[in-house]
Amino acid sequence: MKASRLTLLLTLVLVLVVALTGSGSANYRDEVRIGISVEPTTLDPHVHSNVSTRYILQNIYRSLVSYQTNGELGYEIAESHTVSEDGLVYTFKIREGVTFHDGTPVTAEDVKYSIERILAPENGATFRSYFAEVGTVVNALDDYTVEFVLQEPCAPFMEYLSLPESAIISKKWMEAGNDITTSAMGAGPYKFVGWDRGLQIDLEAYEGYYRPGLPKTKNVSFIFYLDETTRNNALLTGEVDIIDYVNAASVIQFEKIGGVKVYSKQGPFMLLQFNCGEHSPFSDWRVRQAVAYAIDREAVIDTAFSGRGKPLYGFPTIAGQLGYHGELDDYFYRDIEKAKQLLAEAGYPEGFTCNILATSDYSFHEQTALVVQAALKEIGIEAIPELPDWATRIERSQTGDFDIIVSGTLGKIVDMDWASVFYKSGDVRMDFSPHFHDEEIDRLLEEGRRELDEAKRNEIYQRFRERALELSPIVYICWREQAFVTSEQVEDFDFLSGTLSNQAGMFLEHVLVKGR
């Protein structure tokens, strides 16, 4: 009897020990659930459809190189590279042992196939022009060596390769007839499990991932929560662990409630573009500068972003970065008299009537337009707000059908060359003031991209920034924040500020969620 009691006791102790140690490793959940604001319309990694889709795809696909969690460029599928003296030939060594999710090794042929797919115009790859403009040719030298030959030097070329939309895809998988828009297969930390339309996308950790020990959580689900309030509530009730695109008013709410972790960083900037066509008053730089002097940036921040944001009176380069030291930060200031004077000099002492295009789909776009309207009224410009839905707004921005347009955006790359898309003369496009044309700006942007000497580049771009403010085809308003909110159980989540706030997916492989 005693002996059996002892056995019982020992068994109990044993069970307890097992249970405790067991719970030690089971302390973290095997799943992280992320409420994202948009459902993808394509899974094609070479097409940038929106930031939320990029957030998903960054976990499935990787590029040769990419910005790491410390904000520095680092290797992903590549393990080393060399650049020829003249800056025209980039040779990459592919990390041996990197495999796609079907187990096949990533080879130079796959890299060649991927970049050539981006270069083929009919595929509609978002950043095709980046590679096409410098005349990129890809050669597979052997299984693990790939070379890029450019027609002209290109200082930011590594950045082009680091874009999530420069993802390396499997030639074999594509040639097997898989549909890359509805399915996905890459070499990233997570493999694609399924896309349940209207509900969620599920991913599962890839055991053959080239970074040992990662990803930390076995399953990731991206659940589509299109309504903002519903998304916020889903986080509060534990339906999801992480939510993206939290707006300023909600950030304030979350900070007040507590019990969650708020991650807020400087994100995109708000700006005005102008139709600079011949017959438009905005073809005159003095009129554009008048707008820059007239608008009340603080009022925009208070109205559209609940007071959370930073006014932008100069050019959106942060002092201390890209060879810039803040000299132009106070280029503009609010001065109604000066604005009126500039208007008079341009031949509009009585002002004029025009339209200002925004969208009613995003309240901060709409509110920005209304605040700008009020400020312009003070200098005699009657700007009539037009607030169609987002789809119409996109079409009108692509065809230049507006006088003033409100935009909120970011440079696509960290390098100063991001400004080329915004300022270089050419076709009407989204982030550009239609019909704007300045030879000096075009020349500076060309030189800046071609120049490989850092100091000389800094000089070129300093001159460019001055010229860009002088002519002001784009008038900057403010920085707004980018925010994620997670439950308190989520560990090691983060993202970077500025341009890289749009590459938050790099952090997910580290994320852990404590069991409740």
Partner 1 sequence: MARFFAKRTLTAIIQVLIVTTIVFFALKMMPGDPVLLMLSRDGSSVDPAAYEALAKQLGLDKPILRQYRNWLTGLFTGDLGMSYTERRPVMDAIGDRLPRTLELAGASLLIAVVIGIPLGIAAAVKRGSWVDLLLTGISSLGQSVPVYVFGYILVLIFALNMRLLPSSGYVPIHRNPVEHFRRLILPACTIAFGFSASMLRMTRSSMLEALSSEFVRPLYARGLSKARVHMKHMVRNMLIPVVTIIGLQLGALIAGTVLCEAVFNWPGIATLLVKAISNRDYPLIQGCMLILSIIFIVTNMVVDLLYGLLDPRAR
Of 42, 264, 363, 497, the one binding partner 1 (CB under 8 A) is 42
Beta bridge partners of 487: 260
User: Binding to partner 1 by residue 197, rule CB under 8 A?
Assistant: yes
Distances (CA, A) of 27 to 4, 327, 513: 33, 52, 9
Closer to partner 1 at the Cβ: 42 or 458?
A: 42
Task: Let me know how long the chain is.
Answer: 516
Of 24, 103, 198, 259, the one binding partner 1 (CB under 8 A) is 198
Residues 128-167 that bind partner 1 (CB under 8 A): 128-129
Q: Tell me which H or E stretch contains 285.
A: helix 285-294
Of 261, 286, 338, 396, the one binding partner 1 (CB under 8 A) is 396
Of 105, 153, 323, 388, the one binding partner 1 (CB under 8 A) is 388
User: Binding to partner 1 by residue 435, rule CB under 8 A?
Assistant: no
Of 69, 99, 104, 123, the one binding partner 1 (CB under 8 A) is 123
Whose structure tokens read 């969690």? 69
Whose structure tokens read 């896309």? 195
Query: Could you tell me the smallest distance in angstroms from the CB atom of residue 412 to partner 1?
Result: 6
User: Binding to partner 1 by residue 389, rule CB under 8 A?
Assistant: yes
Q: Tell me which H or E stretch contains 130.
A: helix 128-133
User: Which backbone phi and psi does 248 adopt, to 5 degrees?
Assistant: -55, -45
Of 28, 31, 49, 387, the one binding partner 1 (CB under 8 A) is 49
User: Binding to partner 1 by residue 127, rule CB under 8 A?
Assistant: yes
Of 50, 68, 219, 306, the one binding partner 1 (CB under 8 A) is 50
Of 96-104, 292-300, 394-402, 473-481, the window that binds partner 1 (rule: CB under 8 A) is 394-402
Q: What CA–CA distance (Å, rounded) separates 466 from 332? A: 12
Query: Could you tell me the smallest distance in angstroms from the CB atom of residue 121 to partner 1?
Result: 4
Q: What CA–CA distance (Å, rounded) separates 240 from 126? A: 31
Of 121, 177, 213, 258, the one binding partner 1 (CB under 8 A) is 121
Of 409, 425, 489, 497, the one binding partner 1 (CB under 8 A) is 409
User: Binding to partner 1 by residue 223, rule CB under 8 A?
Assistant: yes
Residue type, 487: S
Beta-sheet strands, E only, within 219-307? 219-224, 242-243, 260-274
Closer to partner 1 at the Cβ: 123 or 458?
A: 123
Sign of CA pseudo-dihedral 153, 158, 163, 168: positive
Closer to partner 1 at the Cβ: 231 or 308?
A: 231
User: Binding to partner 1 by residue 488, rule CB under 8 A?
Assistant: no
Q: Can the peptide bond before residue 45 be classed as cis, meaning omega within 30 degrees of 0?
A: no
Query: Could you tell me the smallest distance in angstroms from the CB atom of residue 413 to partner 1?
Result: 11
DSSP-derived pairing of the beta strands 474-487 and 310-311: antiparallel
Instruction: Name which of 56, 47, 51, 142 is nearest 92 in CA terms.
Output: 142
DSSP-derived pairing of the beta strands 512-513 and 490-491: antiparallel
Of 327, 395, 440, 453, the one binding partner 1 (CB under 8 A) is 395
User: Binding to partner 1 by residue 237, rule CB under 8 A?
Assistant: yes
C-beta of residue 29 within 8 angstroms of C-beta of residue 217:
yes
C-beta of residue 55 within 8 angstroms of C-beta of residue 223:
no
Residue type, 251: V
Of 11, 21, 23, 181, the one binding partner 1 (CB under 8 A) is 181
Beta bridge partners of 32: 220
Q: Tell me which H or E stretch contains 67.
A: strand 65-67
User: Binding to partner 1 by residue 391, rule CB under 8 A?
Assistant: yes
Closer to partner 1 at the Cβ: 198 or 212?
A: 198
Residue type, 18: V
C-beta of residue 73 within 8 angstroms of C-beta of residue 146:
no
Of 83, 193, 214, 236, the one binding partner 1 (CB under 8 A) is 236
Of 22-30, 192-200, 345-353, 457-465, the window that binds partner 1 (rule: CB under 8 A) is 192-200
Residue type, 338: K
Residues that contact partner 1, how many (by CB under 8 A): 56
Whose structure tokens read 């200031």? 333
Closer to partner 1 at the Cβ: 327 or 389?
A: 389
Q: Can you read off the two tokens belonging to residue 89?
A: 């030939």
Query: Where does this chain bind partner 1 (CB under 8 A)?
Result: 39, 41-42, 47-50, 121-124, 126-129, 179, 181-182, 196-199, 223-227, 229-230, 233-234, 236-237, 239, 361, 388-392, 394-398, 409, 412, 421-422, 426-432
